[in-house]
Structure 1
């Protein structure tokens, strides 16, 4: 089983006029190669750390693409967002045949002239992988879940604690659910009211 993963994480504050630059997305962890994503985040309390644990437990190949994680800041410019999204999509294209997608997102990303960054990301991923490849995303406790996000993902799993000490467990839960979707045909219903 081959699962592709990527992270585009940003908690946007629309009250600041200072835009989020591409450098901001790499300020926390630096620019990590796919191999470095696995080695640096294995055993770390992040959603991607949980994805890695899930891969180890369930025996699937985890194919990392991008780790872009900005500190909370103002909206990203559209060109910055498009460039980072293209890195994710290019990584998925280069992965070849895949069985599923695990994404680490925030859930409150606002882009210049686009209020639902994660909905847009999930739509772009869905357009690329098609309707039959399961897409599971882990969201922050401060996420703003949209109808588009619910429509484009098979499962969205939010964190349950604050302080957020459950990031890796929620990432592991995403991996567990994705494996059940693939191996057992699980189809969890989702709705947003």
Structure 2
């Protein structure tokens, strides 16, 4: 049997020129978020042995892909920033991953990855944290007829028991205690 070796790739490298318009087409086809998710999965599997992780070059590759993503996919970052701003300005709305996708133009997976990367949590967890912060601020600076219930409902919490538990976990006191501190309760 005569096995032929495949031709080796040329050792010549293409110079890296971010301003090159031909790279726009190529990089627009790369889903940087998906590549980074795969790299993160590999890093997670190897994280037990730091020596092996360093030797694998995955951390360096992850850093490089992050730089490439920032360089070639800035429109995705702008969409993400606009989504976060929209959510922060409309905390009382009901959100699902489907309408977050629609608002941002990003896929659910891309959104989950970006929230994990920037805030180290899921989109819904981030939303809950923002709502709790807003409730805390409102309790400390209440309007005339504010109650724990009215504020919780205003910021999108339908289950008051769950709200009180989450609030106490994040803020360190009960909502009624925060409202009492303002002198309104």
Scaled by the length of structure 1, the TM-score of the pair is 0.22
* Structure with the larger RCO, 1 or 2 (CA within 8 Å, 6+ apart): 1
The structure that is strand-richer by fraction is 1
Scaled by the length of structure 2, the TM-score of the pair is 0.22
